[in-house]
Structure 1
């Protein structure tokens, strides 16, 4: 049996080997102590003016140019392949590269346009990156596991290796999207940082002292470096929202059943108490709307048994616009959450919440304190779902190669535990449903407070206690509040109640404003760890974001509200 270190090294080197020599960096990137930020001008120095123009245009602008034939799909694909290659060399964000296939696909799109005089679909020529859970023909899916190299999800002889494609991949191709790379994840997918034994650690490109987030961390880092205009991640405890937030991006965690998940790799497949969902991350809300609308036009409910038949609803979007643009200045009502009672937020996150609250008030909207049912109880139920099998699935995946778990994983899965019985799982599902009902009725009850005739429209909340995690800080815990769980509580409650949540980038850490709280008394051990981790100098200029949370299946409404707030924040002086 080949040692796991050898397999990992060969795979790592094979990815670098797929980068054209002309795109290799002339020298290693300086350490974070010398060059903490590799975004903006740093990466631009390796690109042509035309490549910079293309890659710094958002997805909406790109499609506008490709469907009008102003830009060739091939030129766009080559520009993003180049920038993605640079990004990987700077922060380790790619698991798979298939640039040649992407450029060939783009050339075929250009030929189609030349022959027919029209684009092939609404995403004609748009490069789209994918988290390494999507199966793409002629490309491996390792999900960060050494034991999955050369297999189909750890199995050989399935006749699916490099042939099978996930449902969303098929739909994206139908829409004219160009697929060109798959991005890094933490093995198991169950961490708020991105690390595995194949590519190592994926760093935050804005501040390379910090994590890029997880588990869709490679997506966050790549899009943060503008090596992709839009990409897809997944979220079972914050895995879309955390990387979006840490990298200053927009992202959305839809409710389960809105977008297709069929045919994707996953951990603990069959755990249905809290479903992992797929959603986009991008540099603008418009980009999120563009790809979601496109996918819904493909009628995914005809090919994924878990997708609800809900086309894009313009009326939900318009209802928000009618409120805020109506005669007399209509008002939205926001609930304001500043923590979960388990850990408090560091100074930059508190300031970001205050900025959004003041922005909402300046726009004429109402804000109210959000005091829902206990999030502690919510999390006790949620974290049980991740250990129904006692860790058997992830231990089996590691056993394929004998590779060790990253420290970010061991707090949850370090040792095998007893599997839950069917009765225990059923009891936890009953508790979950009861909690969802309680939360629902609390939300309903806020209609008595708002004065708008409606309950709260959305909740403004943190999704992590820090702007970004320091390495080995973002652990998912083990189902008891005594575990080293310091982050997911602020994001996972959304998954537990299955609400819609979008990420709103707000500001940057400012060491002169976001100073350490003198005389702070921690709530508990976890809160103390968060407090002690904050260093204004280390965090300076890191991205800070919040989440905008709506009720189930309110994707159109929440994206519209997020866009309204984002547009207003664009005028805010940092």
Structure 2
């Protein structure tokens, strides 16, 4: 194919997404440019919706299910409201790859018919619309993963019998749970970028500040939810791809340890690379929505259908133990302790990120929790190891899939410059080095028991998600703050905190900020103004139940303190 042909094919696919939006939901007026109107969330998108649609789409997943599973709201009404809002969201920031609204509404009708007949919901997610990152296969729906060469194929393969018939294991389970699937969201071509860009939808912008990125690689999920075009959805994370867009869009996002959720039948880059496994995690506007989705998926016993899934059901006992510690803390006992890492020694953070961490620290101390400075094994070493893993095949997989159409790799995509592939011996040596680093980090975490005052090591670690808030295009500086979690296979959770403020996030005249040596003051305060700021809560391996419980508790408390200037 010539350059012209792949460009035309990409443009045609992009136009087909717009064409799939019903005429009644297409914007009739021109949206002002980002230089005139940065924020298209809130009142801006609401102007195109009815009061009833606003009520439904600004309700979180837990309350939606409470309404649909008792018959107070119909699945059809809820589905149509989110389809409408998702259609608007795409026209504002280009966040969708596939829309299948008609099929979703038909599925919702079946949900309503079932409830009318049996007076009981079809499952714990009855009638809940769920969006999916464009890695998951859905029958009758294409998966491009941002590659032009995947259009009209199955993962780049022509005449593959799985085309249009394959469904990912997670998709099967969500259907069993009663969820309604209605759209797939945009990703960077190849997935290997902290911004969302490809030659189909071009660039997905941040709805809160359209001068900035929505993050990546689950960027479309983040942007769609920032506009409340989805109450909850699923992305994947191999280096931060759930947590980064969650943080960049003022959302919660969970990166579970490998094996807790089913990856079977999901498209990915570098399939077969096992040194750092990509994992599936939920994204939502509230922490309790993450818990709802994660718990529901585990109820399907994914270990019976995915050979890499762990036989580890939802553990209520962990939730109860964590809640007991929280209640004791509320009673004045010092039962919880947290580490805070304000700077990883590699990438200096911008002032809004430093302020976000100060808000978190203030919250923890107000609640009576012990806070210790985090001094772990070298994060520069972790960064180096992560970089080697991502380039171990010399980008052969990406180059092959870009080569199917002849398209170029978008500039933010992490790609090898020399194309050198590791030998089997080099991969083995890398795995050994990774294991030794994991052991060092484990030992350090255990050692904190000596200083927490609780008799246990820290219960969690707070640190940045990135050196910056939702980033200026092509200025993503480091995935080290999220990538180390993947390297260790720890549990990571994005928690929204505040927004960048050009009047607040400035260098104090008297130089009184203690962390000034860790802060990159040379940043564009005007452009970043209004950008969402999130932080990361990290727990040890397979501690999802504990981290979700802590996120529900601390997220609300952090939001309270964020209203004050810190």
After TM superposition, the score normalised by the length of structure 2 is: 0.96
Q: Look up the SS of the partner of 1:209 in the other structure.
A: strand
Give the distance between the partners of 2:464 and 2:253, measured in 1 at CA: 14
* Residue in structure 2 matched with residue 362 of structure 1 by the alignment: 366
- 8 Å contact 1:405–1:414 — kept in the other structure? no
CA distance in 2, matches of 1:436, 1:225: 38
Aligned to 1:350: 354
Instruction: Please tell me whether the aligned partners of residues 247 and 543 of structure 1 are also in contact (alpha carbons under 8 angstroms).
Output: yes
CA distance in 2, matches of 1:95, 1:457: 39
Quote the offset at 1:329 in angstroms. Answer: 3.0
**Displacement, 1:571?**
2.3
Q: Which consecutive unaligned segments of at least 5 residues does structure 1 have?
A: 475-485, 521-526
Question: Which residue number in structure 1 is paired with residue 177 of structure 2?
Answer: 175
Q: State how 1:105-504 maps to structure 2 within 5 Å.
A: 105-326=107-328, 328-409=332-413, 412-413=414-415, 415-474=417-476, 486-504=477-495
TM-aligned CA deviation for residue 569 of structure 1: 2.3
User: Does residue 551 in structure 1 map to residue 553 in structure 2?
Assistant: no
Aligned mates of 2:57, 2:418 — CA distance in 1 = 45
The answer to whether 1:565 aligns with 2:554 is yes
Q: Supply the distance in 2 between the matched residues of 1:427 and 1:52 (Cα, whole angstroms).
A: 55
- 1:441–1:426: structure 2 CA closer, same or farther, 3 Å change rule? same
How far did residue 415 of structure 1 move?
Answer: 3.5
Residue 57 (1) aligns with residue 46 (2): no
Q: What is the DSSP-based 3-state SS (H/G/I as helix, E as strand, rest coil) of the residue aligned with 2:213?
A: coil
Could you tell me how far apart the structure 2 residues matched to 1:97 and 1:369 are?
Answer: 47
SS in 1 for 2:210: coil
1:18 corresponds to which residue?
A: 20
What is the deviation of 1:252? 0.6
Query: Contact 1:255–1:553 (CA<8 Å) still a contact in 2?
Result: yes
Per the TM alignment, residue 9 of structure 1 is displaced from its structure 2 partner at its CA by: 1.4
SS of 1:182 mapped into structure 2: strand
How far residue 386 of structure 1 moved from its aligned partner, in angstroms, is 1.1
Is the 1:183–1:219 contact (alpha carbons within 8 Å) kept by the matching residues of 2?
yes
CA separation of 1:119 and 1:435: change in aligned 2, threshold 3 A: same
Tell me the equivalent position of 1:4: 6
Give the 5 Å matches for 1:82-121.
82-121=84-123
| SS at structure 2 position matched to 1:503 | strand
Could you tell me how far apart the structure 1 residues matched to 2:42 and 2:259 are? 37
- Whole-angstrom CA distance in 2 between matches of 1:215 and 1:193: 6
Query: In the alignment, is the contact (CA less than 8 A) between 1:221 and 1:247 conserved in 2?
Result: yes
Deviation at 1:531, TM superposition (A): 5.0
When normalised by structure 1's length, the TM-score is 0.94
Aligned equivalent of 1:506: 497
Question: Number of aligned pairs?
Answer: 553
Q: Give the Cα separation in 1 of the matches to 2:386 and 2:509.
A: 34
2: distance between equivalents of 1:337 and 1:571?
Answer: 22
CA distance in 2 between partners of 1:468 and 1:168 (Å): 29
What is the alpha-carbon distance in structure 1 between the residues aligned to residue 395 and residue 252 of structure 2? Answer: 32
CA distance in 1, matches of 2:245, 2:484: 17
Whole-angstrom distance in 2 between the partners of 1:516 and 1:28: 39
